[in-house]
C-alpha cells in the first residue's frame, strides 16, 4: 500500500530548463546523454518512454550476472498480473496477438489500426481496463471485423481461445459487462462489481466475513497479511476456499520459472544475508505460508548493504477493492551512490522530523526505527510496475514489520529523470502557472523540490506516526490508502518549507520550497483532472489524496485569502498569496489526518475523503480538459525496458551481460508474450 505511484503530472508540470540547481541528481550530465531519445511512441492517452540504466556497464560481472537472472525472474511473472486483473485477459491478449501477427490485409485499414491501438492498451494495462481509471476500454474496431479475422485464423494457429471466442467478443464489445477493474463506488458490492480476479463467486459481505474470522483468531501483535496471496473462491456447495498462488497452486507454472531464476541468481547474491532473503522468498513461493512471507520481509528490510537489490512478489493491494489481495510485481535495481547522499541526510535526522512535526504527541513515534533511504536506478520493471510504474517505493507493507524492523525506502532516480527530460518544453507549465514568477520558481527549483518531496514522502512520511494501541490498521477500509498517501504527502509538504532543509544543505534557500507548493496546489486543484474523463469522479487513491489536500487547504484558507482561484480570459489559475500560511494549513491537516489514522476514525476518514477528494466541479473540469487538449500531451506514461543479453563462453558460463535500448514497444510486448508466457490461458 505504500508504493508511490506518483502522478506524472507533477513531473510534467515541473519541466524545467537547463538552469536547474539540482547538481546531485541522478548523475547524468547533459553531455553524457548524447542523443538518447526518452520519448518513444504514442497512442491513445499514453506516451511510451525509455529510461537509461547508467552505471550498469561499470558493475562487476558478478553483479551483472545477478541482475541478469533477477530480471528473468521479473519477466516471468507478467501473466500472473494479467490474470489477476481479470479472468479473460490472457485469452483476449492471445487472441488479439494472433490476429495482429497473422494479419495479411492492409495495415492502414481503419479496423486494423483501431485494433492495434486496443492491443497496445491491453499490453500497457496488463488487461482490458484502464491502468489508472480502471474503466473498460471501448474498442474502435467492429465486432464483425474481428469475427472475420478470427475465422481467417482457423487452422493457422494454435488458437486456444477459440472455444471461448463468443464470450471474449461479448466482454470486449458489450459495455455493460465487467465495466470496472476496481470499483470503489460507495454503497455497491465492491467485490461483485469489480472485474479483477481476486474473488470468484464471492460477495463483499462474504469476503469481509471470511477475513474478519481469520483475523479474529490471529496473533494480534504480529498478524500476517491475511488473504494477500490467494483467490477467494466460493465452491458449488457454498464453502469458501482460498486458492493460493504457489509453485504448486494457482499460477504455479509462472512461479516455478520465477523460482528457477531466483535459484540461478542466488550464487551471485551480494552477501549471505541476501542469499537468505532469496531462500525465504523461494520457500514462500513454494508453500504460500504467510509467516514465511513476514520472515522474508524482515530479512529483506534488514538487508541494507547490497548495491543490487530487488522486489519480487505479491506486493500492492490497489487492485483489490478490499485492499487485501496483492498484485504481482518486480523491480531489479542498484544504488545510485551520489543521489543517495541526499536521502541519507534525511534518514539520519528522522527523529528530529518526527519530534518537530505538528502532530499530537500521543500519535508520534518515540523512536523512529530503521529507515533506510536510497536513490536507486531501475534495471528492469515487471508485473504491476510495468510499463506504468512508481517512482518511489516504501516496503514492506506489513504494519508490525514496519514498526519493529523498519522499512526500505527508495526513490527511483533514473525514472524520475526520464520523466523530467521527456517533459521539457511540453507547454504545461506555461499554460497553468499563474504568472512569470511562478514559472521562474518552478523552472529554478522544480526538479529539486520534486525529488525532495518524493524523498520526504517515502523516507519519513510513511514511516512516521503510530497507531494507538488496539487500533486495527485496516479500520479505515476503502479510505485507508487515500489517508495514508495524504499523510505522507503532507509530511513532505510541511517539511519542504522548514528552515531545517536549508540548514541540512538540501535546498539552497528559504524560497525553493515554493516551487513544490505551486505544483501541489495546481496539480490538486487543476492539472490532475486531465487524467479523468468528464463526468467521472476521482477514484485512484493518490489522486484523491492530492485533491483532498489541495481543496481542504483552499477552503480553510479562503477567509484569509491564503490562495485564490483567479479567472483570466476564461481560464482558472491558482494564485498563492501567503506561502507561510499555506504551510500552516498543511501542518493542521497533517495533524488531523494523523489523528484519523492513529485512532482508526473511519467516519473522519470518510468525511475528509468524500468531501474533498472525490467530486469534481464539472465546469472547471471541462475547462481544464480543453486547455490541456490544446497542448496535445499524453496524460499517462510508461516505460519500455532495456534488453539484457547474457554473453556465454563455450561452457555456458556468463562472461558478460550487455544492455540494449533499441527494442520497440510492440516488439517487446510480443517477445514477452512469446518467451515469458507459461501460464495456461484459463487459470481456475
Ligand atoms: Zn506513498
pLDDT number for residue 160: 85
pLDDT number for residue 391: 86
Distance (angstroms) between ligand 1 centre and the Cα of 676 equals 30
Distance (angstroms) between ligand 1 centre and the Cα of 1 equals 8
Mean pLDDT in the chain? 91
pLDDT band at 34 (very low <50, low <70, confident <90, very high): low
pLDDT band at 417 (very low <50, low <70, confident <90, very high): confident
pLDDT number for residue 218: 84
Assign residue 128 a region (left: φ > 0; alpha: ψ between -120 and 50; beta: otherwise).
Answer: alpha
Distance (angstroms) between ligand 1 centre and the Cα of 562 equals 27
Distance (angstroms) between ligand 1 centre and the Cα of 517 equals 18
Distance (angstroms) between ligand 1 centre and the Cα of 295 equals 23
Distance (angstroms) between ligand 1 centre and the Cα of 488 equals 6
Q: Is the pLDDT of residue 128 over 80?
A: yes
Distance (angstroms) between ligand 1 centre and the Cα of 376 equals 17
Give the SS3 label for residue 282. helix
Distance (angstroms) between ligand 1 centre and the Cα of 62 equals 33
Q: Is the pLDDT of residue 22 over 60?
A: no
For a pLDDT cut of 70, what percent of the chain falls above it?
Answer: 94
pLDDT band at 2 (very low <50, low <70, confident <90, very high): very low
Distance (angstroms) between ligand 1 centre and the Cα of 459 equals 10
pLDDT band at 374 (very low <50, low <70, confident <90, very high): confident
pLDDT number for residue 473: 86
Distance (angstroms) between ligand 1 centre and the Cα of 5 equals 7
pLDDT number for residue 16: 25
Distance (angstroms) between ligand 1 centre and the Cα of 485 equals 5
Give the SS3 label for residue 228. coil
pLDDT band at 27 (very low <50, low <70, confident <90, very high): very low
* Lowest mean pLDDT across 276-290, 416-430, 575-589: 416-430
Q: Is the pLDDT of residue 26 over 80?
A: no
Distance (angstroms) between ligand 1 centre and the Cα of 476 equals 16
Distance (angstroms) between ligand 1 centre and the Cα of 170 equals 37
How large is the average pLDDT for residues 214-236?
A: 93
- CB 283 within 8 Å of CB 263: no
Distance (angstroms) between ligand 1 centre and the Cα of 539 equals 16
pLDDT number for residue 635: 82
How large is the average pLDDT for residues 449-453?
A: 90
d(CA 473, CA 218): 14
Q: Which tens digit of pLDDT belongs to each residue from 174-206?
A: 999 999 999 998 899 999 999 999 999 999 999
Distance (angstroms) between ligand 1 centre and the Cα of 649 equals 45
Distance (angstroms) between ligand 1 centre and the Cα of 481 equals 9
Distance (angstroms) between ligand 1 centre and the Cα of 609 equals 16
Distance (angstroms) between ligand 1 centre and the Cα of 549 equals 14
Distance (angstroms) between ligand 1 centre and the Cα of 489 equals 7
Distance (angstroms) between ligand 1 centre and the Cα of 486 equals 8
CA proximity to 371, closest of 300, 458, 299:
458
Distance (angstroms) between ligand 1 centre and the Cα of 409 equals 10
pLDDT number for residue 458: 82
Distance (angstroms) between ligand 1 centre and the Cα of 390 equals 10
Give the 3-state secondary structure percentages of the chain, helix then strand then coil, rounded to 5. Answer: 50, 15, 35
Distance (angstroms) between ligand 1 centre and the Cα of 2 equals 5
pLDDT number for residue 344: 85
- C-alpha dist (Å) from residue 645 to 46, 341, 598, 665: 28, 32, 49, 18
pLDDT number for residue 31: 33
How large is the average pLDDT for residues 612-625?
A: 97
Q: Which tens digit of pLDDT belongs to each residue from 479-511?
A: 999 999 999 999 999 999 999 999 999 999 999
The pTM score is 0.75
Distance (angstroms) between ligand 1 centre and the Cα of 542 equals 8
Distance (angstroms) between ligand 1 centre and the Cα of 514 equals 21
Distance (angstroms) between ligand 1 centre and the Cα of 452 equals 14
d(CA 478, CA 241): 24
Bridge partners for 412 per DSSP: 376
Q: Which tens digit of pLDDT belongs to each residue from 634-676?
A: 889 999 999 999 999 999 999 999 999 999 999 999 999 999 9
Distance (angstroms) between ligand 1 centre and the Cα of 484 equals 7
Distance (angstroms) between ligand 1 centre and the Cα of 567 equals 33
Distance (angstroms) between ligand 1 centre and the Cα of 590 equals 14
* Lowest mean pLDDT across 153-157, 165-169, 230-234, 371-375: 371-375
Instruction: Give 21: exposed, middle or buried? Use CB within 10 Å, 0-12, 13-18, 19+.
Output: middle
Core vs surface per residue 606-635: b (16+ CB within 10 A) or e:
bebbeebbbebeeeebebbeebbeeeebbb
Distance (angstroms) between ligand 1 centre and the Cα of 65 equals 32
Distance (angstroms) between ligand 1 centre and the Cα of 547 equals 15
Between 37 and 369, the more confident residue is: 37
Distance (angstroms) between ligand 1 centre and the Cα of 550 equals 17
pLDDT number for residue 88: 98
Distance (angstroms) between ligand 1 centre and the Cα of 42 equals 28
Distance (angstroms) between ligand 1 centre and the Cα of 458 equals 6
How large is the average pLDDT for residues 290-298?
A: 98
Q: How is residue 178 written as a grid cell?
A: 465487467
Distance (angstroms) between ligand 1 centre and the Cα of 59 equals 30
Distance (angstroms) between ligand 1 centre and the Cα of 136 equals 26
Distance (angstroms) between ligand 1 centre and the Cα of 561 equals 30
Sheet holding 46-50: strands in order across? 39-43, 46-50, 636-640
Q: Is the pLDDT of residue 341 over 90?
A: no
Q: Is the pLDDT of residue 393 over 90?
A: no
Distance (angstroms) between ligand 1 centre and the Cα of 398 equals 14
How large is the average pLDDT for residues 364-389?
A: 86
Q: Which tens digit of pLDDT belongs to each residue from 80-121?
A: 999 999 999 999 999 999 999 999 999 999 999 999 999 999
Distance (angstroms) between ligand 1 centre and the Cα of 457 equals 6
Q: Is the pLDDT of residue 30 over 50?
A: no
pLDDT number for residue 11: 35
pLDDT number for residue 392: 85
**Where would I find the beta strands (DSSP E) of 96-198?**
none
Distance (angstroms) between ligand 1 centre and the Cα of 462 equals 7
Distance (angstroms) between ligand 1 centre and the Cα of 158 equals 44
Residues 6+ apart with CB under 8 A from 292: 280, 283, 284
How large is the average pLDDT for residues 51-75?
A: 97
pLDDT number for residue 51: 97
Q: Which tens digit of pLDDT belongs to each residue from 528-576?
A: 999 899 999 999 999 999 999 999 999 999 999 999 999 999 999 999 9
Q: Is the pLDDT of residue 370 over 50?
A: no
Distance (angstroms) between ligand 1 centre and the Cα of 493 equals 13
Q: Is the pLDDT of residue 9 over 50?
A: no
Amino acid at each position: 500500500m505504500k508504493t508511490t505511484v506518483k502522478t506524472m503530472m507533477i513531473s510534467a508540470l515541473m519541466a524545467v530548463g537547463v538552469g536547474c540547481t539540482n547538481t546531485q541528481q541522478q548523475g547524468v550530465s547533459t553531455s553524457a546523454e548524447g542523443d538518447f531519445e526518452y520519448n518513444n511512441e504514442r497512442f491513445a492517452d499514453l506516451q511510451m518512454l525509455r529510461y537509461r540504466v547508467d552505471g550498469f556497464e561499470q558493475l562487476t560481472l558478478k553483479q551483472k550476472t545477478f541482475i541478469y537472472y533477477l530480471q528473468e525472474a521479473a519477466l516471468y511473472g507478467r501473466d500472473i498480473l494479467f490474470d489477476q486483473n481479470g479472468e479473460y485477459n490472457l485469452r483476449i491478449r492471445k487472441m488479439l496477438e494472433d490476429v495482429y501477427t497473422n494479419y495479411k490485409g492492409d495495415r492502414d485499414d481503419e479496423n486494423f489500426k483501431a485494433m492495434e491501438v486496443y492491443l497496445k492498451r491491453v499490453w500497457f494495462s496488463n488487461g482490458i481496463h484502464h491502468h489508472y481509471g480502471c474503466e473498460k476500454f471501448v474498442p474502435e474496431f467492429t465486432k464483425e471485423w474481428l469475427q472475420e479475422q478470427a475465422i481467417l485464423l482457423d487452422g493457422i494457429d494454435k488458437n486456444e481461445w477459440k472455444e471461448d471466442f463468443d464470450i471474449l467478443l461479448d466482454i470486449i464489445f458489450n459495455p455493460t459487462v465487467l465495466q470496472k477493474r476496481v470499483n470503489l463506488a460507495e454503497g455497491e458490492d465492491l467485490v461483485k462489481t469489480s472485474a479483477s480476479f481476486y474473488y470468484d463467486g464471492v460477495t463483499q459481505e462474504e469476503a469481509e466475513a471470511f477475513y474478519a474470522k481469520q483475523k479474529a483468531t490471529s496473533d494480534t501483535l504480529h498478524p500476517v497479511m491475511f488473504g494477500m496471496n490467494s483467490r477467494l473462491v466460493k465452491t458449488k456447495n457454498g464453502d469458501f476456499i482460498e486458492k493460493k498462488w504457489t509453485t504448486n497452486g494457482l499460477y504455479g507454472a509462472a512461479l516455478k520459472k520465477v523460482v528457477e531464476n531466483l535459484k540461478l541468481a542466488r550464487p551471485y547474491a551480494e552477501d549471505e544475508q541476501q542469499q537468505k532473503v532469496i531462500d525465504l522468498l523461494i520457500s514462500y513461493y513454494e508453500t504460500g505460508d504467510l509467516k514465511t512471507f513476514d520472515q522474508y520481509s524482515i530479512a529483506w528490510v534488514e538487508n541494507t548493504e547490497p548495491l543490487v537489490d530487488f522486489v519480487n512478489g505479491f506486493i500492492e493491494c490497489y487492485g483489490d477493492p478490499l485492499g487485501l489481495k496483492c498484485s504481482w510485481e518486480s523491480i531489479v535495481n542498484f544504488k545510485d551512490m551520489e543521489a543517495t547522499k541526499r536521502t541519507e541526510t534525511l534518514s539520519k535526522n528522522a527523529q528530529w522530523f518526527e519530534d518537530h512535526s505538528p502532530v499530537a504527541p500521543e500519535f508520534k513515534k518515540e523512536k523512529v526505527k530503521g529507515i533506510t533511504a536510497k536513490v536507486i536506478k531501475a534495471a528492469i520493471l515487471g508485473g504491476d510496475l510495468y510499463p506504468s510504474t512508481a517512482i518511489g517505493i516504501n516496503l514492506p507493507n506489513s504494519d508490525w514489520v514496519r514498526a519493529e524492523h523498519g522499512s526500505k525506502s527508495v526513490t527511483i532516480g533514473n525514472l524520475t529523470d526520464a520523466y523530467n527530460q521527456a517533459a521539457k518544453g511540453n507547454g504545461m507549465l506555461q499554460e497553468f502557472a499563474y504568472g512569470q514568477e511562478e514559472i521562474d520558481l518552478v523552472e529554478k527549483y522544480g526538479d529539486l523540490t520534486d525529488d525532495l518531496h518524493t524523498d520526504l514522502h517515502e523516507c519519513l512520511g510513511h514511516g512516521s506516526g503510530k497507531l494507538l494501541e488496539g487500533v486495527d490498521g485496516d479500520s479505515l477500509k476503502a479510505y485507508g490508502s487515500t489517508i495514508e498517501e495524504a499523510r505522507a504527502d503532507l509530511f513532505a509538504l510541511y517539511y519542504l518549507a522548514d528552515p531545517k532543509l536549508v540548514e541540512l544543505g538540501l535546498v539552497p534557500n528559504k524560497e525553493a520550497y515554493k516551487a513544490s507548493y505551486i505544483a501541489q496546489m495546481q496539480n490538486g486543484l487543476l492539472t490532475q483532472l486531465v487524467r479523468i474523463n468528464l463526468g467521472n469522479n476521482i477514484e485512484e487513491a493518490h489522486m484523491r489524496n492530492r485533491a483532498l489536500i489541495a481543496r481542504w487547504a483552499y477552503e480553510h484558507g479562503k477567509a484569509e485569502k491564503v490562495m485564490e482561484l483567479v479567472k483570466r480570459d476564461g481560464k482558472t489559475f491558482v494564485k498563492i498569496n501567503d506561502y507561510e500560511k499555506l504551510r500552516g494549513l498543511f501542518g493542521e491537516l497533517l495533524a488531523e489526518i494523523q489523528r484519523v489514522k492513529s485512532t482508526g476514525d473511519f467516519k473522519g476518514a470518510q468525511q475528509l475523503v468524500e468531501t474533498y477528494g472525490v467530486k469534481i466541479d464539472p465546469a472547471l473540469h471541462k475547462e481544464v480538459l480543453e486547455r490541456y487538449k490544446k497542448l496535445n500531451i499524453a496524460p499517462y506514461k510508461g516505460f519500455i525496458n532495456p534488453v539484457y543479453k547474457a554473453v556465454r563462453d563455450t561452457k555456458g558460463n556468463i562472461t558478460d551481460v550487455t544492455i540494449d535500448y533499441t527494442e520497440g514497444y510492440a516488439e517487446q510486448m510480443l517477445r514477452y508474450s512469446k518467451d515469458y508466457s507459461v501460464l495456461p490461458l484459463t487459470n481456475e
